[in-house]
């Protein structure tokens, strides 16, 4: 999702409320060769091209930059995709952000979440946990997606991100490099193409991956705004019903993130009217605790989104490999998963740091070394990613059950007596070698 400028443009300057970001979005047009009858765009040569300026794309670009490897990030939108609400980062995510050099800047803006509480739809408490009682090293914070993207983008050199650059075609050229053609006619040949273009990834489709599968439920999400200060303690609050569940968590002193998951036989039509989205959310929880309804009421209409939830299981022997020649997938483009473990963003961050540590030295050797590095990345990441996607799916399926008897067992036996927090957080353990602080 990215952009080299249309050939008739002189430059693109992304408008942003943050003056420190302005310099990062100046993009020069590609050179052209003029003939008597037509203008032909030259093929621009790059060493590494990243498709998509989301969390996966920017974290990969920042990690490469810290290892002294330049990259070009192509984003199909006109600016950073700063829509959406917030995301939860556990200790594995913070560990990667620290090695990228942005952890402390983000920590200073967001509350550390101390624990969690689970309640029924009528307000009865089923269980509560404190994170550090189970794991002293645990760190949990909800971070605004917009702020995370802007913070990562500021780490990159000027002209690293090209907007309005939608990928139209991709193929392997006669020299074995990957040739990209953008919708504006720009052509780029690159030794390595890293697909970070999300769940509807064009790169993944070209590599033979199927569309992610809808899991049977959707989610409303929003970010409530309390100008005079939000009233909630620093913990995650979950509410379980029958075929519907919700949760909310303080993000900062003035903002609270919330979600409502509900069963639906199909993803349904795309709805963009913010007032309709808010009214549909309130209808779902009209008989639930007033606290949750008040949070929805405190949410600006234009921050509410509705998302059909999907995932993709990477079955061994059936799923395509994560790399093809010099192309490779990172984050949701490869392994979209449901948000039931809060690990989507964390796994994308992990992917980035593992990939670049294998890729950077291989770039100095040649094509065979690059392909070996990409295969090594897949072989290291798959045993972690596949079980996590399955686990997230199963947890979501159980929590979305509608049968009253099954829900009674969940509320009176499973949650209060059998669930332990330690095993629930085991997947947040992640070890890797820190990135050297080399820069281009």
Domain membership of residue 405 (yes or no) is yes
Domain membership of residue 240 (yes or no) is yes
Task: Enumerate residues 6+ apart whose C-beta is below 8 A from 42.
Answer: 30, 31, 32, 33, 187
Instruction: Give the separation between CA 168 and CA 186, rounded to whole angstroms.
Output: 10
Domain membership of residue 186 (yes or no) is yes
Tell me what the mean pLDDT of segment 407-424 comes to: 91
Domain membership of residue 74 (yes or no) is yes
pLDDT in tens, 260-273: 999 999 999 999 89
Domain membership of residue 82 (yes or no) is yes
CATH number at residue 148: 3.50.50.60
Instruction: Give the separation between CA 121 and CA 243, rounded to whole angstroms.
Output: 11
Average pLDDT, the chain: 89
Quote the pLDDT of residue 214: 98
pTM of the predicted model as reported, rounded to 2 decimal places: 0.90
Q: Which of 248-252, 398-402, 433-437 has the lowest mean pLDDT?
A: 433-437
**What domain range includes position 272?**
44-428
pLDDT at position 186 over 60:
yes
Quote the pLDDT of residue 261: 98
Rg (CA), the chain: 22
pLDDT in tens, 38-85: 334 588 999 999 999 999 999 999 999 999 999 999 999 999 987 778
Quote the pLDDT of residue 134: 86
Q: Are 66 and 156 in contact (CB under 8 A)?
A: no
Domain membership of residue 136 (yes or no) is yes
Domain count, the chain: 1
Domain membership of residue 194 (yes or no) is yes
Tell me what the mean pLDDT of segment 250-265 comes to: 97
Quote the pLDDT of residue 423: 84
- Long-range CB contact pairs, 365-374, < 8 A, 24+: 367/176, 367/191, 367/326, 370/191, 370/192, 370/326, 371/323, 371/325, 371/326, 374/192, 374/322, 374/323, 374/326, 374/328
Domain membership of residue 18 (yes or no) is no
Which among 357, 434, 427 has a CA at the least distance from the CA of 392?
A: 427
Percent residues over pLDDT 70 in the chain: 90
């Amino acid at each position: 999702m990215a952009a080299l400028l249309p050939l008739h443009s002189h430059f693109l300057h992304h408008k942003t409320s943050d003056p420190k970001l302005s310099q990062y979005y100046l993009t020069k047009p590609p050179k052209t060769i003029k003939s008597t009858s037509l203008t032909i765009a030259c093929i621009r040569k790059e060493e590494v091209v990243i498709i998509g300026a989301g969390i996966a794309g920017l974290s990969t670009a920042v990690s490469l930059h810290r290892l002294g490897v330049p990259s070009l990030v192509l984003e199909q939108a006109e600016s950073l995709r700063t829509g959406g609400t917030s995301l939860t980062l556990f200790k594995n995510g913070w560990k990667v952000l620290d090695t990228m050099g942005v952890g402390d800047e983000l920590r200073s803006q967001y509350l550390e979440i101390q624990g969690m509480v689970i309640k029924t739809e009528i307000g009865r408490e089923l269980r509560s946990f404190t994170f550090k009682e189970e794991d002293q090293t645990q760190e949990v914070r909800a971070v605004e997606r917009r702020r995370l993207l802007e913070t990562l983008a500021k780490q990159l050199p000027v002209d690293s991100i090209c907007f309005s650059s939608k990928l139209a075609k991709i193929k392997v050229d006669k020299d074995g490099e990957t040739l990209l053609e953008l919708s504006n006619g720009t052509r780029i040949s690159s030794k390595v193409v890293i697909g970070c273009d999300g769940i509807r990834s064009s790169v993944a489709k070209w590599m033979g991956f199927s569309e992610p599968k809808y899991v049977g439920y959707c989610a409303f999400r929003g970010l409530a705004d309390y100008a005079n200060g939000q009233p909630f303690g620093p913990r995650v609050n979950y509410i379980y019903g029958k075929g519907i569940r919700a949760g909310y968590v303080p993000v900062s002193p003035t903002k609270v993130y919330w979600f409502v998951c509900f069963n639906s036989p199909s993803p349904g039509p795309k709805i963009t009217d913010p007032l309709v989205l808010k009214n549909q959310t309130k209808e779902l929880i009209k008989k639930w605790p007033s606290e949750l309804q008040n949070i929805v009421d405190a949410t600006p209409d234009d921050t509410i989104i509705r998302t059909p939830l999907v995932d993709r299981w990477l079955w061994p022997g059936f799923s395509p490999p994560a790399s093809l020649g010099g192309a490779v997938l990172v984050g949701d483009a490869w392994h979209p998963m449901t948000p039931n473990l809060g690990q989507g963003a964390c796994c994308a961050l992990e992917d980035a740091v593992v990939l670049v540590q294998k890729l950077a030295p291989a770039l100095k050797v040649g094509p065979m070394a690059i392909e070996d590095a990409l295969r090594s990345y897949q072989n290291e990441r798959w045993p972690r990613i596949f079980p996590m996607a399955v686990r997230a799916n199963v947890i979501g399926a159980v929590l979305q059950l509608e049968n009253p008897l099954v829900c009674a067992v969940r509320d009176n036996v499973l949650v209060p007596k059998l669930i332990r927090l330690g095993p629930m957080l085991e997947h947040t353990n992640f070890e890797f070698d820190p990135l050297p602080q080399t820069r281009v």
